[in-house]
Amino acid sequence: MLKTRLRDFLVTKDNWLFAVSDYFRSNGIRATLRYVPDENGERELNGIRYKKYDFGPAFEFMRKYKPEWVQDVHVVPESEVKQVLHPSDAIPRLVNSDSRVRAIVKTLDRAGIPRTSMGVTGSMLAGLQNENSDIDFVVYGPVWFRARDAIAAAKQQEGPIEEIDEEMWQRIYRKRIPEISFDEFMLHESRKGNRGMVEGTYFDLLFVREWDQIKEPLLRGKDTVKMKIEARVTNADFAFDSPAYYKVEHDEIDHVLSYTHTYAGQALPGELIEARGIVEEVGDIKRLVVGTSREPKGEWIKSLTWLEKCGHI
């Protein structure tokens, strides 16, 4: 069996490239189509031109050409995979060829983060980046938080790693289209520390579980009603994971999940949150799911504790 986890890439026998979107599999590897060979494509690798597919068009393409692979994500049969690209394997290549990646890696080196715990995913992992590509930098396991702190400290010093400017924040906000105001978005982002700029390029520090943190699959439940809750966060160890996971203290809801990156790292343990999403029943457990569509309407997570501390409430 192929060993895969979140943010790996798959290359199929047709040279289609998929981003792995789950730690677990069900009759195949759960992933999302990203690149397909196309003679009119804007990107090129090994003499083959590729077209990039965003979320919606990827599903349209798959429904047309591989409808049997389409579920809530795309389920790729292992027999169709000719290669797995692991983010950690890209580090040696990119350190030698890309000064921006090298700057991030050296910053994390100084913080004692082993290079085996680092990776790069997205177009750079596939070798299909262009001049507009962001850097999707991965750190595996609990050392992610130490890496995040090292990046935050580096932004306060002279060097290639800098804070994100207002224009870029506006771009990120418009791309996400969240249901919270720009001011609330910025107040939450101001303390996360997992985004930055390096030599003018935007980068994101993405959390992926270490192998020993991958325990049991996230079972699918039954969607019931929309609900808004206030609850106290009791554990946020996987708040930057995908989906982000918040264990909460609440009469009905056991935990809150967010499938949209906007609300990753949105609250700390002990904080009171306001969250609105769909209640999903999994056996005897109820959870609140935020980000049930690509641009979730009427769904959000806010830290009321943090907003109050910032004088916003």
The one-character DSSP state at 70 is B
Question: Do 103 and 68 sit in the same domain of this protein?
Answer: no
Question: Do 92 and 197 sit in the same domain of this protein?
Answer: yes
Q: Where among 85, 107, 142 does a domain terminate?
A: 85
User: Rg (Cα) of the chain, in Å, rounded?
Assistant: 20
Per the structure, how many domains does the chain have? 3
Among candidate residues 6, 61, 14, the one with its CA nearest the CA of residue 33: 61
Contact 134, 104 (CB under 8 A): no
Could you give the angle at the alpha carbon of 56 between the alpha carbons of 53 and 62, nearest 5°?
70
CATH code, 303: 2.40.50
- Would you write out the chain's pLDDT as a tens digit for each of its 313 residues? 889 999 999 999 999 999 999 999 888 999 999 999 999 999 999 899 999 999 899 999 999 999 999 998 999 999 999 999 999 999 999 999 999 999 999 999 999 999 999 999 999 999 999 888 999 999 999 999 999 999 999 999 988 999 999 999 999 999 888 999 999 999 999 999 999 999 999 999 999 999 999 988 777 888 889 999 999 999 999 999 999 999 999 999 999 999 999 999 999 999 999 999 999 999 999 999 998 666 667 999 999 999 999 988 7
Distance (Å, rounded) from C-alpha 293 to C-alpha 188? Answer: 22
> What are the phi and psi torsion angles at 233 (to 5°)?
-80, 125
Domain hosting 248: range is: 216-310
Contact 135, 123 (CB under 8 A): no
Question: Do 259 and 232 sit in the same domain of this protein?
Answer: yes
Q: Where among 211, 243, 258 does a domain terminate?
A: 211
pLDDT for position 220: 80
Give the torsion through C-alpha atoms of 67, 71, 76, 78, to 10 deg.
Answer: -120
CATH code, 194: 3.30.460
Question: Which helix (H) or strand (E) element contains residue 56?
Answer: helix 55-65
Question: Do 277 and 172 sit in the same domain of this protein?
Answer: no
Q: What is the pTM of this model?
A: 0.93
pLDDT for position 216: 81
Phi-psi map region of 124: left, alpha, beta (phi>0 left; psi -120 to 50 alpha): alpha
Which two structure tokens, joined as six digits, stand for 157?
């010093």
Which two structure tokens, joined as six digits, stand for 287?
């959870």
Which two structure tokens, joined as six digits, stand for 205?
């520090």
